[in-house]
Structure 1
């Protein structure tokens, strides 16, 4: 009886479980973005790795972070359930941060090899830990509410704010400790943040993380073999599809690794991104309309790759620019370079409600552009951001260029992110048949993984004035920062234009879905 009364109360607002998951995710994102804020600087300043190698390590790490949620989601669905997966993932990530702490503790000594080995161990734990944590906590947000509850959209907005609040605070704390005190304390604070996340979740989950009927969520595996809502087939790949998937990945991996000479992680990420969509689109149970809608998602994934390749320079080459080419003095004190990574999160908190209200207002006036139009605008804002900083990098004073240029870039890029990223997640949910939604969301993340890996590759081309030779890309000699940033203008601007031209065709293939 008490559960029933509590449910009546929660209808007036949001379940308390939402705020448990908000706090859990806040501290997990604090841990992730705190580490990311200082990782490149740690590799180049303490481990003395060159920028090209550090960039490729960064790209592999952030790419694999978006690859492992496929494993974590599968393990939760089949064996562990959401709760156990979240706790195991959080524990692995905390251990990973502590290994980075020990790595940084040894980096200044004679045994640099041990420091690098500990770094690899820490990254491995972070990659797998994130895979178990990330997909499962997001899934539980929706499970707090009844089906078709109008509060769900607002709930995910609140949850998204938790992500960005953590991402805002992390560089300010971990970045300050890492750059101004010692890198090891930056990593340690990230590890402590992850432990706080685990304690909050463990102490409150039984009481508050419950469904509308008062039953605890995520205790056991999901019943994936139950009949789906559309009555066609079980969720997940069939044994035949799984065989094709694994065989295809092995084949493409071999071609890329031994044939094209790509590194092992790039070959794995690219192989999965190429094969995954093919396996779903060839499913024999798909109708013509379903296939058309899935093709829309797959085609837009190509543009999503270019978006994240350019956007994720925030933790890579743009950190180099903030550290070496930007005058960071404010009121006589120098701001740590890592602080710039808080700007995107701060702008999201400020701009997300405005842009959300804009879409609602346009819809009320009968103006509701389909997702591809909005995403083409997102790419256009990305191009404008790089054009802005390219102008600022033409003539850099000896003391460094003004912070206005990086601030303006992050402002424009945040608008681009809000036009593309949440719109993409919503589009995947709307266009995918119910029996494939989880799998297609995982495949959508593969595009982000590929974009992150390519971000590291592009960051390795960052021109170093201390070197006598300049990197080349597609026949272009990157002899200045202006040339370097204009390459991103070209990529994102061309992607924006091509997607815009395809929008009318894609709209027809969506068959009435907006």
Structure 2
């Protein structure tokens, strides 16, 4: 990057920071509501709502693997980010139309998948390019970038459920669209601060033919996604096929790679599987935990007998980013202190600890039934359960792309990054399947009957997370040996090519 542009780093970053914040405001405002909207407004069964959400988020997480390539090779990162934001706004606008037509719902979800695919990876890519060659600042920049994600999600997860309760579901979805509009207006005012930043196609005049091709393919994908979401059997088959293909390619690459590369690829495969397991737990936030809050959590938040306020069921999801705000500084301080004393924790150890605290979180949700009154548990169980749940996220979810950067050869970098996004998407669908183990039949409306259904699932998830922790610990010696074998290989992906992984 031209050094003359360096004084504008802060302003350039602020431009991306703000559009990212408003984009996450829109996405998480929608995410907080959609399962409840399907269950309460459209009268979907728990099974259908969970699997529809799981298939949708699987595509949302996988789409950036394609969008990043389009930004790098076809249209440019800046253009893709802008187009993606516009398309996302259209998706939320469709949800805001006051209609219970399910075809409109699926069309909106298809539009959101396409928009997210173009936006997500390219916005993060611009942050990397702003600080390219400035390693001292890039870590801090991505820490602040992650803060933008959490600022946007916190406010929207608190606001949109309140709007839905007082003015209706579609008004709340329209507010998500308004967030994107504000982000785009700010970008239009500040876009010149990014004039020197972008991928190679950004510097060339717009190729209208390529733009038309991308938009045409995007429109076709909207129809494909809408069709897949309406046919659960097809969605399920595609997920299993994607999983088999990724596993097969991993095994093939390990078999064909040089001996110096093989150990790193094996480590990457093991940690990718552990990441998939974690995101199955993570998916419960929008599914089983939200439906549990709807049916079996006392909304009153009390302290020493004093009623402070009442929660709306969807608002409990905001506890996740709130806890991340609270826990990130002490965790960063701890990592720094350990690093200075030469006691850095290996990535595999962080995975193991992450599973331990996730297990504690689910056991908190599980034991809550023991103190329930008339089938309703105290909100404090949600507060503390989400606390451990969020600590697990900090320990695990931010490590995935860093793990790929460390262990995957540079020549496989682009493909393996895409494969990681797809694997994360698969875990979202699997999370929906798991949530269905707590599916409450339509004929059960008594909290005393639904409570054991949820607590049984949460206790089982706690056990699975604990087993995951034990397996992670058992694998530590082997992973340590493989990592040591890989250490001398200097062909890993350039860390500057890695973008921040975000929620």
Taking structure 1 as the reference length, the TM-score comes to 0.82
The residue aligned with 1:302 is: 273
Ranges in structure 1 where 5+ consecutive residues have no aligned partner: 108-114, 224-256, 470-477
In structure 1, distance between residues paired with 2:20 and 2:286: 20
The residue aligned with 1:185 is: 171
In structure 2, distance between residues paired with 1:323 and 1:162: 28
Aligned-pair CA distance for 1:513? 4.7
Aligned-pair CA distance for 1:437? 2.5
Q: Given the alignment, which residue of 8, 15, 30 partners 2:10? A: 15
The residue aligned with 2:296 is: 325
In structure 2, distance between residues paired with 1:269 and 1:480: 27
In structure 2, distance between residues paired with 1:425 and 1:303: 13
In structure 2, distance between residues paired with 1:262 and 1:189: 29
Aligned length: 451
Root mean square deviation, CA, Å: 2.6
Say whether 1:96 aligns with 2:86. no
In structure 2, distance between residues paired with 1:358 and 1:222: 42
The residue aligned with 2:457 is: 484
Ranges in structure 2 where 5+ consecutive residues have no aligned partner: 205-227, 302-306, 446-450, 489-503
The residue aligned with 2:500 is: none
1:464-475 paired onto structure 2 within 5 Å = 464=440, 467=443
Post-superposition CA distance 1:234-271 (Å, at most 9, x none): xxxxxxxxxxxxxxxxxxxxxxx9xxx97222322332
Say whether 1:442 aligns with 2:418. yes
Segment of structure 1 superposing worse, 429-438 or 490-499: 429-438
1:186-265 paired onto structure 2 within 5 Å = 186-205=172-191, 207-210=192-195, 215-218=196-199, 220=201, 263-265=233-235
Q: Given the alignment, which residue of 120, 130, 141 partners 1:134? A: 120
The residue aligned with 1:229 is: none
The residue aligned with 1:64 is: 59
In structure 2, distance between residues paired with 1:62 and 1:394: 33
Aligned-pair CA distance for 1:367? 1.0
Aligned-pair CA distance for 1:277? 5.0
Post-superposition CA distance 1:179-208 (Å, at most 9, x none): 232001110000111122222223322x21
Say whether 1:314 aligns with 2:299. no
Q: 1:266 to 1:74 in 2, by over 3 A?
A: farther
The residue aligned with 2:333 is: 357
Q: 1:506 to 1:148 in 2, by over 3 A?
A: farther
Q: Given the alignment, which residue of 36, 43, 48 partners 2:43? A: 48
In structure 2, distance between residues paired with 1:439 and 1:190: 33
Taking structure 2 as the reference length, the TM-score comes to 0.84
In structure 2, distance between residues paired with 1:172 and 1:367: 39
Instruction: Give the conservation status (yes or no) of the 8 Å contact 1:81–1:218.
Output: yes
Aligned-pair CA distance for 1:222? 9.9
Segment of structure 1 superposing worse, 119-128 or 420-429: 420-429
The residue aligned with 1:282 is: 252
Aligned-pair CA distance for 1:273? 3.1
In structure 2, distance between residues paired with 1:166 and 1:57: 24
Secondary structure, counterpart of 1:220 in structure 2: helix
The residue aligned with 1:266 is: 236
Q: 1:262 to 1:329 in 2, by over 3 A?
A: closer
